[in-house]
Amino acid sequence: MSETAAAERPAASLSPEAGRTHGLPVAVLAELTHRCPLQCPYCSNPLELDRPKDELSTAEWQRVLGEMADLGVLQVHFSGGEPVVRRDLGDLVRRASEVGLYSNLITSAVGLTRDRVFALADAGLAHVQISFQASDAALANRIGGYRHGHAQKHLAAGWVREAGLALTVNAVMHRQNLHELPQIVDMAVTLGAQRLEVANVQYYGWALKNRAALMPTRAQVAECDRVVEEARERFRGVLTIDYVTPDYYADRPKTCMGGWGRQVFNISPSGKVLPCHAAETITGLHFDSVRDHSLGWIWEHSPALNRYRGTDWMPAPCRSCAHKDEDFGGCRCQAFALTGDAAATDPACALSPRHAAIFRTAEVEAETGTTRFIYRNPTGGTAEA
């Protein structure tokens, strides 16, 4: 489906009606697998990875893609782990195209070949997002824990543009690569990307294990703000830059996923429907599976999706906050990670009683000088030599 066609869907599909906690979902992150050749120290996958034998089959994913379209979904983002390791990726892209879904591939690109890129384009793929760990090859390969990965990413980006697909560069930023942000911006332009995501690390899941090695200094964050603002002006009309600031230095919480279970959801490799990719870090919540219920039933009736929808669940001071219908309480996963209570005020908010503490944590850990990573892998993690 083209972006123009997607935009022609009824407006009711794009925003919840007044008084509703949620509308029809507009986008789904389809996590096809947790398998991945990279070992990123900030990996956003859950601590307990789904095993390959538990992954949804081709037929199950094809059924679910049809249910997405029936539910009103406009876009599907094939992700992981590394979705390219699924041999049936082309079949799933083709099914998405058949049911009218705009499809995006979120990939490390290290497993892509030119033939595979063109085959996916022929199947109906519209967009590719490639992650880059830095602009310097040695630094990028060190962060990702994968030799020669950076060169492969450059090749893949060229194939994506050659195949006529839209390209986004995703750059996860932290203390050890923020100094390269100007070069990363230039790299995205040189690669022919239409969009650059400058995403500072979000500290839950595996990233918490590496927080002291990843946390930027306040000066780095200020410089990052300046570089992004300057680049947006310099490349206006050429490169769109999305910017996710570090929560630990924020005064206001981010509108995580546009609100819990409001218009976006994830499907895990084993079929669990989640309000966001990190939701399984919140213990005590049960997430329904597409193997047990239809997507339509889960979207409306899942207790986990309904748990933090809207504003009625909010504690003080969120309940009376003038911004509650804008940020929807911020991030529940972060609240749980830092306070042990998923219903607590997001500590990224200046009104949270924990805000000063996390700000101090950021300052202290940013000054530790720790640089060694604990790499993410199926064996439980490996300390950098």
Q: What is the pLDDT of residues 339-360, one digit of tens each?
A: 999 999 999 999 999 999 988 8
The whole-number pLDDT of residue 7 equals 36
Q: How confident is the model at residue 4 (pLDDT cuts 50, 70, 90)?
A: very low
Q: How confident is the model at residue 257 (pLDDT cuts 50, 70, 90)?
A: confident
State residue 312 phi and psi, 5-degree precision.
-65, -25
CA 324 to CA 309: how far, in whole Å?
12
Q: Which of 38, 81, 24 is nearest to 56 (CA)?
A: 81
pLDDT tens by residue, 40-75 = 999 999 889 999 999 999 999 999 999 999 999 999
> What is the pTM assigned to this prediction?
0.92
pLDDT above 70 for 19: no
Q: How confident is the model at residue 26 (pLDDT cuts 50, 70, 90)?
A: very high
The whole-number pLDDT of residue 8 equals 38
Give me the mean pLDDT over the 93-106 stretch: 98
Listed in sequence order, the DSSP H helices in the chain are: 3-7, 58-71, 89-98, 114-123, 137-144, 149-162, 181-191, 206-209, 211-214, 218-234, 295-301, 303-307, 324-327, 332-339, 355-366
CA-atom Rg of the chain in angstroms: 20
Query: Residue 168 forms beta bridges with which residues?
Result: 129, 195
As a whole-number percent, the residues of the chain with pLDDT over 70 amount to: 95
The pairing of beta strand 102-107 with beta strand 195-200: unpaired
The whole-number pLDDT of residue 11 equals 37
- Check residue 348 and report its DSSP letter: T
